[in-house]
Amino acid sequence: MIETTRTFIPDWVSPPGDAIADLLEERDWTQLQLADRWSREFLIPSEYEGELAKLKHKADVTIFTKRIRIHPGIVVGRLQYDRLIDPSWMNDLKVSLHFQEIENV
What's this model's pTM, rounded to 2 decimal places?
0.67
* Residue 105: per-residue pLDDT: 59
pLDDT digits (tens, 9 = 90+) for 44-62: 988 998 999 999 999 999 9
CA distance 64 to 84: 15
| 3-class SS letters over 41-68 | HHHCCHHHHHHHHHCCCHHHHHHHHHHH
User: Is the distance from CB of 60 to CB of 72 less than 8 angstroms?
Assistant: no
- 39: DSSP letter: I
pLDDT, mean of residues 8-14: 53
Which of 31, 43, 34 is closest to 77 using CA atoms?
Answer: 43
CA distances from 20 to 6, 14, 17, 29, 92 (A): 22, 10, 5, 10, 33
Residues with Cβ within 8 Å of 33's Cβ and at least 6 positions away in sequence, in order, are none
> Greatest CA separation found in the chain?
71
